[in-house]
Amino acid sequence: MTDSTLTRLFRFLTREPRLLCDKETWDTGTKELHRRTDERREAGAFLLGNERLGSRRIKKFLFYDDIDPNCFDHGIVEFNGHKFGKVWEVCKTLDMDIVADVHVHPAGYGQSPSDQENPMKLEAGHLAIILPDYAKGYQNPGEFGIYEYLGQRRWTNHTRLGQNFFRIR
């Protein structure tokens, strides 16, 4: 093998996953999601951070109901699009962007028809995470849903990639 082939192979084998989060941020955020569910309704958050070299690093949970207090009035996520101005203000203040979103389901982690029809960010490449069991207890990537929005209400499921796609460390 040539040096350039070895270099490309090394980069491929050692590349960072698409999504990263430190364990403390993840644990604190998911525990807060669970608390907000009262084990009877959904809860969710925008995951704020930055992208570097193709990997998105989660640095902060911005909970939906802190921006739109009425978004769970019917037990599911119904975020008022008019409230996005506040989200962008927070992003600008923190010099971050929405790198993904997360919400919980009462049981499994599959996307509902409503999830598929209503991405939180209408941009191809947006990542959506769904935690089962109202985010009760610790779950590793591969044990919750990881979906990428492709545009035009189409998604791809990255759940089975687990730690290769989303690493918590």
Q: 129, 142 in Cβ contact below 8 A? A: no
Distance of CA 34 to the CA centre of its chain: 15
pLDDT value for 137: 85
pLDDT value for 121: 94
**Whether pLDDT at 40 is above 70:** yes
Average pLDDT value over all residues in the chain: 92
Rounded to 5°, the CA angle 134-94-30 comes to 15
The 10s digit of each residue's pLDDT in 97-129 is 999 999 999 999 999 999 999 999 999 999 999
Closest CA to 105 of 76, 62, 137: 76
**Whether pLDDT at 70 is above 60:** yes
pTM: 0.90
Structure tokens at 100: 């993904």
The 10s digit of each residue's pLDDT in 3-35 is 556 555 544 555 689 999 999 999 999 999 999
pLDDT value for 76: 86
Which one-letter amino acid corresponds to residue 169?
R
pLDDT value for 4: 59
Which range, of 6-10, 62-66, 149-153, averages the lowest pLDDT? 6-10
Which range, of 13-27, 66-80, 104-118, 146-160, averages the lowest pLDDT? 13-27
CA distance 99 to 58: 7
Q: What percent of the chain has pLDDT over 70?
A: 91
Reported as type and span, the H/E element at residue 139 is none
Place of tokens 């739109």: 68
